[in-house]
């Protein structure tokens, strides 16, 4: 018996649930309204009789299925094997049509597809017209020959690109992410890739697993340095290539391309990969396939630390073509900012490193995904608009179209540079200069006026006589400019001519730049200054907590270890810091558990040195009220608190301790946390931190 896609979702949810499930929770689980579920249940109850299964319900508990286990398993197997695509939905049908044409390029009559999708030939003909532009993006044509059939026409290379695009769009990414997670496993036996279940399947999952094992066993750091997106893209490219080669389909040979690529380091890596694949699959792979794997590696993005760049003598920025393009891109972005941006070594080096694989992609018409494109356009509209001009510059110089996905990545580099530039501006402070002159009030005013005009708002200038230089005056100024010898004085003095010639101004300017980037330590009225510093420090910590706060939904079935791994990735992008965080929590857990079932929460806290800020984070189960793992039984939310081990560790402990106490004493705080509503939690968190700050002001 065939079930509708919605019936199938409801039944699978009930068959895999051991306890009664409230209708509201079931509706949330399958993303429909409670009323829709209740309407479907009457029909489901009727058809379940064919399997000797009863749909039971109880007010306050929910609904569940009763019947023999064998009958339930038989029904579950049937549901899992059933194609749940609704071909009455034209968008689903058209995706299915693209899939079928990619799977098999042999000519087929229209009635073949009409019969496959249970629609008329006229409907399929309209669907063909609708999907044709999708194929044209990859230079593939739908050919119709009367009496012969319908088929795809185009190069093997373009067909593979279309297949990869379809897979990336419609195969669930968590499946492919397993391949990346397995990439740093030292032994191939440890690689465990779950079965791929997807109605839009184009890949042979056994071949995909073998390719994943093969890559995990190649001892080359260049593979490990690929970004997750690039690593998965390379795996897809290779898997498709293996499937096509096994099917006797080969890319057209290109002797010139082979000749050009054989000199590259990436070609040697591609050769290493191919040798491993040939042993794994027992096949001979043509040289042209090696060339295209090499191209894919050259077009891939790398995750490289700044130290790598410093020690790399072959930086892209030193290559003439890339250096000229980077300079032109900066000018095209904004002529007025060009000199400032060009002086940012971190920006120019990063942009050059990004540009090298970008040029490979553009010159070889290799598309790239940019999952953050819409976010970039919305959040950094002005930067993106400026980068459109950069795209026009590249198009004029490279002779090819620059897709918006590439412009989006370029915008990230420019945006980061501008944020860094703004941050540097904020770090600069106004420098205090004491001006001492022995030539009379007229000359001293002339010197002060000339110096202020030269330095503008970067400095505050105060004139003094030599006898005015008390310890208090010396402390409140960063350095002194003097036209006379001041003798032994405990501060820096720049000796100048009363007329302040150009070389004197340059020496003063250099000193101003030096002091502008350094925090000023005031000693006069020290008690008050220390109070203000403490208040500012606490305000900064509170801002950190609120800025970094998040409430994250996770699968309710996760283990305690998995929960920590997910939270660690959200807290910090650096793997080393993630590992330190997880190990620290686990060490504390071995001493005494931080899971408190009586309160329905886990209260995890740890102290960490160096890179961590004060942090308050919440994790809640996404599809159940409680976590289902036995270790976290009865827990409705897990709170994570990070406390830095630095010079302010006592104040850090008091601040985070106040939040811990509030979980016990402030009932609303606990209720809000269990709700999983990020806005509610943050509002209450802000209220509590404000209370703490006000109390601190009363006693400081």
- Residue 558's pLDDT is 92
pLDDT at 317: 46
| Centroid of chain to Cα 485 | 59
Please check whether residue 52 is in contact with residue 59, taking contact to mean a CB–CB distance below 8 angstroms: no
- The winner for highest mean pLDDT among 250-254, 350-354, 636-640, 666-670 is 636-640
Distance between CA atoms of residues 27 and 449, nearest Å: 75
β-partners of residue 64 are: 56
Q: Is the pLDDT of residue 446 over 60?
A: yes
Please state the φ and ψ torsions of residue 25, each to the nearest 5 degrees: -65, -40
More confident residue, 82 or 61: 61
Per-residue pLDDT band for 601 (boundaries 50, 70, 90) equals: very high
Distance, first Cα to last Cα, the chain: 75
**Strands across the sheet containing 479-482:** 459-464, 431-436, 479-482, 493-495
For residues 277 and 266, what is the distance between their CA atoms, to the nearest angstrom? Answer: 16
Contact status, residue 433 vs residue 463, Cβ threshold 8 Å:
no
φ, ψ of residue 612 in degrees (nearest 5): -95, 145
- Mean pLDDT along residues 209-228: 77
Please tell me the predicted confidence (pLDDT) of residue 660.
Answer: 87
Higher pLDDT, 589 or 473: 589
From the centroid of its chain, how far is CA 503?
Answer: 49
Query: Residue 279: pLDDT band by 50, 70, 90 thresholds?
Result: confident
The crossing angle, in degrees rounded to 10, of helices 90-103 and 121-136 is 70
* 552/320 Cα distance (integer angstroms): 47
| Residue 89 DSSP code | S
Which range, of 274-278, 441-445, 495-499, averages the lowest pLDDT?
Answer: 441-445
Question: Looking at domain 5-81, which CATH architecture does it have?
Answer: Orthogonal Bundle (1.10)
Taking residues 387-392, report their average pLDDT. 93
pLDDT band, very low/low/confident/very high, at 592 (cuts 50, 70, 90): confident
Residues contacting 179, CB < 8 A, separation 6+: 193, 208, 212, 215, 231, 232, 235
Instruction: Write a three-state SS string for 33-67.
Output: CHHHHHHHHHHHHHHHHHHCEEEEEECCCEEEEEE
* pLDDT > 90 fraction of the chain, expressed in percent and rounded: 15
Looking at 90-104, 313-327, 525-539, which range is the least confident one? 525-539
- Pairwise pLDDT comparison (461 vs 648), residue with the higher score: 461
SS3 call for 665? helix
Cα–Cα distance list, 528 to 58, 472, 524, 542 (Å): 67, 15, 9, 21
CATH T-level topology, domain 529-699: Mannitol-specific EII; Chain A (3.40.930)
- According to DSSP, the residues that pair with 436 across neighbouring strands are 464, 482
- Considering the chain, what percentage of its residues have pLDDT values greater than 70? 84
Give 239-269 pLDDT, tens digit per residue.
Answer: 888 888 888 888 887 777 777 777 777 888 8
- pLDDT value at residue 280: 83
Confidence of residue 686 (pLDDT cuts 50, 70, 90): very high
Domains 90-154 and 161-298 share a fold: no
In the three-class reduction of DSSP (H, G, I as helix; E, B as strand; rest coil), residue 232 is classed as: helix
Digit-coded pLDDT (tens) for 173-185? 455 556 556 555 4
pLDDT, position 84: 52
Mean pLDDT value across residues 189-196: 42
DSSP 3-state of 616: strand
- Mean pLDDT (the chain) is 80
Where are the chain's structural domains? 5-81, 90-154, 161-298, 306-427, 431-516, 529-699
CATH number assigned to the domain covering 306-427? 1.10.1790
Question: Is a pLDDT exceeding 50 seen at residue 195?
Answer: no
Return d(Cα 348, Cα 345) in angstroms, integer: 5
**pLDDT tens digits for 509-555?**
989 988 887 766 544 445 555 666 677 778 878 888 998 899 999 99
pLDDT of res. 296: 77
Cα(663)–Cα(674) distance, integer angstroms: 11
Q: Which residue has the higher pLDDT, 40 or 529?
A: 40
More confident residue, 316 or 651: 651
- Going by C-alpha positions, the residue among 473, 497, 478, 495 that lies closest to residue 486 is 495
> What pLDDT score was predicted for residue 189?
39
For residue 582, name the pLDDT band (cuts at 50, 70, 90): very high
| Distance between CA atoms of residues 273 and 250, nearest Å | 18
Pick the CATH number of 431-516 from 3.40.50.80, 3.10.400.10, 3.40.50.2300, 3.30.70.100: 3.40.50.2300
pLDDT band at 306 (very low <50, low <70, confident <90, very high): very low
Are 451 and 508 contacting, i.e. CB atoms less than 8 angstroms apart?
yes
Q: Does domain 90-154 have CATH number 1.10.10.10?
A: yes
CATH 3.50.50.60 fits 161-298, yes or no: no
Q: Averaged over 204-216, what is the pLDDT?
A: 79
Each residue of 467-482: pLDDT tens digit? 778 777 788 888 999 9
At 522 the pLDDT is 43
What's the average model confidence in pLDDT over 14-27?
A: 85
Here the tokens at position 640 are 């994570």
Of 205 and 692, the structure prediction assigns the larger pLDDT to: 692
Check whether 194 has a pLDDT greater than 50: no
Q: Looking at the predicted structure, is the pLDDT value of residue 484 above 50?
A: yes
Average pLDDT over residues 31-59: 79
> Rounded distance, CA 542 to CA 654, Å?
12
DSSP 485: -
- Segment 345-372, tens digit of pLDDT: 888 888 888 888 888 888 777 777 777 7
Angstrom distances, CA of residue 541 to CA of 45, 518, 570, 700? 57, 21, 19, 16
Percentages of the chain per state (helix, strand, coil), in multiples of 5? 60, 10, 30
Say how far apart CA 384 and CA 381 lie, in whole Å: 5
């Amino acid at each position: 018996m065939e079930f509708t896609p919605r019936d199938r979702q409801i039944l699978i949810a009930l068959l895999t649930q051991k306890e009664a499930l409230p209708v509201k929770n079931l509706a949330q689980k399958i993303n429909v309204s409670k009323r829709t579920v209740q309407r479907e249940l009457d029909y489901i109850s009727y058809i379940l009789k064919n399997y000797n299964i009863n749909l039971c319900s109880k007010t306050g508990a929910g609904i569940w299925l009763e019947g023999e286990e064998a009958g339930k398993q038989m029904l579950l197997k049937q549901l899992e094997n059933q194609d749940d695509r609704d071909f009455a939905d034209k968008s689903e049908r058209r995706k299915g049509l693209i899939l079928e044409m990619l799977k098999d390029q042999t000519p087929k009559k229209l009635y073949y597809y009409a019969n496959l999708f249970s629609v008329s030939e006229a409907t399929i003909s309209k669907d063909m017209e609708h999907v044709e532009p999708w194929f044209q993006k990859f230079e593939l044509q739908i050919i119709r020959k009367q009496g012969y059939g319908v088929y795809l026409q185009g190069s093997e290379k373009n067909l593979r690109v279309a297949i990869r695009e379809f897979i990336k769009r419609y195969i669930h990414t968590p499946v492919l992410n397993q391949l990346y997670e397995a990439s740093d496993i030292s032994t191939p036996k440890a690689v465990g890739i779950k079965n791929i279940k997807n109605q839009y399947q184009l890949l042979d999952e056994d071949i995909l697993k073998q390719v994943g094992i093969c890559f995990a066993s190649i001892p080359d750091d260049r593979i490990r340095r690929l970004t997750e997106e690039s690593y998965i893209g390379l795996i897809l490219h290779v898997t498709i290539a293996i499937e096509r080669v096994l099917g006797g389909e080969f890319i057209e040979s290109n002797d010139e391309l082979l000749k050009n690529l054989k000199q590259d380091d990436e070609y040697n890596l591609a050769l290493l990969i191919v040798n491993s694949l040939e042993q794994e699959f027992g096949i001979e792979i043509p040289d042209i396939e090696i060339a295209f794997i090499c191209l894919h590696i050259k077009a891939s993005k790398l995750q490289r630390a700044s130290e790598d760049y410093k020690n790399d003598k072959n930086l892209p920025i030193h290559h003439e073509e890339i250096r000229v393009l980077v300079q032109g891109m900066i000018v095209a972005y904004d002529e007025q900012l060009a000199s400032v941006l060009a002086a940012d070594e971190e920006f120019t080096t990063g942009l050059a490193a990004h540009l090298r694989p970008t040029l490979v992609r553009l010159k070889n018409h290799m598309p790239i995904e940019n999952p953050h494109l819409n976010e970039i356009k919305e959040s950094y509209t002005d930067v993106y608009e400026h980068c459109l001009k950069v795209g026009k510059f590249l198009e004029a110089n490279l002779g090819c179209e620059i897709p918006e996905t590439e412009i989006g990545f370029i915008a990230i580099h420019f945006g980061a540079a501008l944020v860094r530039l703004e941050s540097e501006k904020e770090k600069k402070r106004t420098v205090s200069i004491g001006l001492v002159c022995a030539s009379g009030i007229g000359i001293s005013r002339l010197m002060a006026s000339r110096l202020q005009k030269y330095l503008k708002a970067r400095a505050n200038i105060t004139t003094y006589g030599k006898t005015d230089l008390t310890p208090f005056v010396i402390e409140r100024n960063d350095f002194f400019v003097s036209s006379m010898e001041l003798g032994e004085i405990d501060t820096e003095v720049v000796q100048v001519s009363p007329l302040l010639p150009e070389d004197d101004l340059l020496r003063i300017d250099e000193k101003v730049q030096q002091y502008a980037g350094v925090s000023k330590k005031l000693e006069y009225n020290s008690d008050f200054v220390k109070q203000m510093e403490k208040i500012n420090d606490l305000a900064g910590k509170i801002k950190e907590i609120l800025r970094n706060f998040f409430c994250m939904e996770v699968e309710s079935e996760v283990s305690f270890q998995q929960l920590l791994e997910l939270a660690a990735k959200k807290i910090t992008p650096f793997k080393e810091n993630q590992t330190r965080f997880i190990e620290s929590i686990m060490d504390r857990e071995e001493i005494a558990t931080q899971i408190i079932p009586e309160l329905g929460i886990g209260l995890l806290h740890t102290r960490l040195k160096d890179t961590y800020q004060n942090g308050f984070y919440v994790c809640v189960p996404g599809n159940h009220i409680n976590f289902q793992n036995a270790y976290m039984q009865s827990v409705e939310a897990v709170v994570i608190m990070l406390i830095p081990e630095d010079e302010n560790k006592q104040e850090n402990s008091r601040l985070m301790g106040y939040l811990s106490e509030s979980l016990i004493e402030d009932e609303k705080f606990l209720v809000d946390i269990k709700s999983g509503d990020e806005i509610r939690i943050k509002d209450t968190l802000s209220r509590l931190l404000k209370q703490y700050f006000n109390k601190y002001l009363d006693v400081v």
